[in-house]
């Protein structure tokens, strides 16, 4: 390679190629390029190399396109084959399941006929009876609702609590106008009853509210007090029973002489609501009214 210093012959400035000419940046002179035979041959070789390179690139691109098309065709063929196989398998599966369904229906018909025959003969219980029995077995025996407390059970609780209340009550002395007044318990009257389910302490209980009639030489006084029964449980026969052991709630300072409450609302709050849980009022005519 021969190095040539491209300078302007007029002013010595730098020359740059513009098309087939050389131009001076300083004086603006333009000079034509005179090629000899060797230069022309070199340019010809350069052109042929470039053409060969372009042809090579074109062939390469055609090969890549052909390869991509073949790959896409192969993938499409595989997908079609996969769909055909899956469709065939699905058809076989549907046919098999349909056959099984027919056989199952036939067996179900035979079973149902045998079942109806055995139920009518008393050999086995009906489905309804079995479901009710399963529900009774799986139910929490301490999950009691108002319908489980019968009139007879409530009557027994009221009678037991009333007797315990009369037995435990003694005379009460109260200071009135600087004079001691003696009160005696005349009677214990049933007022209301409540079922408490899912109480805060985890127990269920029935609370009986009584109206207490006291008498003194100055007149009468009416107070309210509660007695409760807890541990109600459903037995294997589905019936609910308790121990009928009446208990008394620990009273607050709102009680009259630590004996009972002059205000019924206070008595209800201290003897019923204090347990938490779900409270339902009980009635002897088998109706129930839910309360918050």
Cα separation of 174 and 177, whole Å? Answer: 10
The residues, any chain, with a CB within 8 Å of residue 24's CB and separated by 6 or more, are 8, 10, 11, 13, 14, 15, 30, 31
Cα separation of 26 and 36, whole Å? Answer: 28
Q: What is the mean pLDDT of residues 189-200?
A: 91
Q: What is the mean pLDDT of residues 128-156?
A: 75
What's the confidence (pLDDT) of residue 289?
A: 40
Cα separation of 277 and 262, whole Å? Answer: 25
Cα separation of 279 and 281, whole Å? Answer: 7
Share the mean pLDDT of the chain.
82
- Asked if 227 contacts 247 with a C-beta cutoff of 8 angstroms, the reply is yes
How does pLDDT run across 146-179, given as a tens digit for each residue?
888 889 889 999 999 999 888 888 788 888 888 8
User: Which helix (DSSP H) or strand (DSSP E) does residue 210 occupy?
Assistant: strand 205-216
Band of pLDDT at residue 193, cut at 50, 70 and 90: very high
- Asked if 193 contacts 206 with a C-beta cutoff of 8 angstroms, the reply is yes
How does pLDDT run across 245-289, given as a tens digit for each residue?
888 877 788 888 888 999 999 999 999 999 899 999 998 764 434
CA distances from 197 to 120, 158, 238, 287 (A): 40, 19, 17, 17
Nearest to 101 by CA among 113, 112, 93, 90: 93
Instruction: Note if the pTM is more than 0.85.
Output: no
What's the confidence (pLDDT) of residue 241?
A: 77
- Asked if 206 contacts 157 with a C-beta cutoff of 8 angstroms, the reply is yes
- Asked if 164 contacts 173 with a C-beta cutoff of 8 angstroms, the reply is no
User: Tokens 């190399």 map to which residue?
Assistant: 49
Q: What is the dihedral of CA 155, 170, 260, 281, to 10 degrees?
A: 0
Q: What is the dihedral of CA 37, 39, 44, 46, to 10 degrees?
A: 160
What's the confidence (pLDDT) of residue 210?
A: 95
Q: For residue 21, give the 3-state DSSP assignment.
A: strand
What's the confidence (pLDDT) of residue 291?
A: 42
User: Tokens 């309360």 map to which residue?
Assistant: 291
């Amino acid at each position: 390679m021969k190095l040539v210093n491209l300078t302007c012959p007029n002013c010595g400035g730098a020359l740059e190629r513009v098309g087939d000419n050389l131009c001076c940046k300083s004086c603006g002179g333009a000079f034509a390029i005179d090629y000899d035979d060797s230069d022309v041959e070199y340019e010809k070789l350069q052109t042929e190399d470039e053409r060969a390179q372009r042809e090579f690139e074109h062939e390469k691109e055609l090969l890549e396109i052909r390869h991509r098309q073949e790959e896409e065709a192969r993938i499409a063929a595989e997908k079609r084959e996969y769909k055909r196989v899956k469709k065939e398998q699905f058809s076989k599966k549907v046919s098999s399941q349909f056959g099984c369904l027919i056989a199952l229906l036939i067996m179900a018909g035979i079973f149902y006929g045998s079942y109806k025959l055995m139920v009518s003969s008393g050999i086995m219980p009906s489905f309804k009876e079995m479901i009710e029995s399963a529900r009774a077995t799986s139910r929490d025996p301490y999950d009691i609702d108002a319908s489980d407390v019968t009139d007879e059970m409530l009557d027994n609780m009221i009678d037991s609590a009333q007797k315990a209340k009369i037995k435990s009550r003694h005379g009460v002395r109260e200071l009135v106008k600087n004079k001691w007044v003696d009160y005696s318990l005349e009677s214990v009257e049933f007022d209301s009853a409540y079922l408490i389910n899912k109480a805060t302490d985890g127990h269920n209980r029935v609370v009986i509210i009584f109206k207490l009639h006291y008498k003194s030489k100055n007149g009468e006084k009416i107070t309210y007090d509660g007695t409760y029964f807890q541990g109600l449980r459903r037995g294997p026969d589905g019936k609910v029973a308790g121990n009928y052991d009446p208990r008394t709630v620990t009273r607050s300072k709102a009680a009259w002489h630590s004996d009972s409450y002059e205000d019924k609302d206070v008595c209800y709050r201290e003897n019923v609501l204090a347990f938490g849980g779900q409270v339902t009022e009980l009635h002897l005519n088998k109706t129930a009214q839910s309360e918050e």
